[in-house]
Structure 1
Amino acid sequence: MPEPQTRLFPPSHGVPNNPSLPVLIYKGALPADAGAMEAHIGANGWDCRWRDGIFDFHHFHSTAHEALAIARGHARVRLGGEDGAEVALHAGDVLVLPAGTGHMCLEASDDFLVVGAYPPGQDYEIEKPDEALTDRRLATIARVPLPSADPVGGRSGALVRLWKA
């Protein structure tokens, strides 16, 4: 099991990010096949809910953690809002975004396909940056329960260790 890269982002222009949980970036962690990814992530207790791309505007989810598994193609994605970082993603990579983490697609190949997954019982809302709401959103983020397993590594995955789930 590959060890993920980790990134922690402070609030950025109305994107709250997550003050205590790092983003996990798994490079080449899973087979580049949507069905195989859904089976693997589902076996680790996460609910795969959609197949699509990543929105081309800054957004985040204050009420849910999110796993984005790249099933096909490649993209450049900005994480953490305007002051965040650009990440290159390729088929087989998996991002695990703690609640509140801003993300947007900057550029993607025509065949880019993502599998989106969430811990059981967590529903996401698509939220846009708003500095006036940052404190309220940070309070919501703090109440989101930690998942009991990593979508890539299960109960022995890095998320359990790094997020102290």
Structure 2
Amino acid sequence: MPYSVPEAYYFSPMLHAPNSLLPVLIYRSALPQPTTEASSRAHLEQHDWLWGGTFKAVTSHHFHSVTHECYGVFKGSSRLLLGRGPGWL
């Protein structure tokens, strides 16, 4: 599989979300084809990501102070709000 160059997005600290000095990275078409939950899980685990389960995207504002989070879209598309605090739509 060819290496996918990620899109990088930086977010400044805000009152309700400290954000990170590290960027949010978006890799498009990075998962092996055909993209299934099983093939995606195997691919991520080969790169030392721990599989925490398969869930829908969280719809409430939140952040993790001591961990990273990886979202994978297996089919279709997804729309996420990143790096914002309350009152931002």
Fold shared per TM-score above 0.5: yes
Normalising to structure 2: TM-score of the pair? Answer: 0.82
Q: How many residues align?
A: 83
Residue 26 (structure 1) aligns with: 27
Return 5+ residue gaps in structure 2 as ranges: none
Q: Indicate if the aligned counterparts of 1:2 and 1:29 stay in contact, CA closer than 8 A.
A: yes
Q: Indicate if the aligned counterparts of 1:2 and 1:26 stay in contact, CA closer than 8 A.
A: yes
Q: CA RMSD in A?
A: 1.8
More helix by share: 1
Distance in 1 separating the partners of 2:75 and 2:84: 24
Residue 71 (structure 1) aligns with: 74
Superposition misfits of 4+ residues, deviation over 3 angstroms: none
Normalising to structure 1: TM-score of the pair? Answer: 0.47
Return 5+ residue gaps in structure 1 as ranges: 84-105, 107-165
Residue 17 (structure 1) aligns with: 19
Q: Indicate if the aligned counterparts of 2:17 and 2:84 stay in contact, CA closer than 8 A.
A: yes
Distance in 2 separating the partners of 1:48 and 1:41: 8
**Identity across matched positions, percent:** 35
Residue 58 (structure 1) aligns with: 61
Partner amino acid for 2:31?
A: L
After TM superposition, the structure 1 = structure 2 runs for residues 76-155 of structure 1, keeping only pairs within 5 Å, are 76-82=79-85
Which is further off, 65-74 or 42-51?
65-74
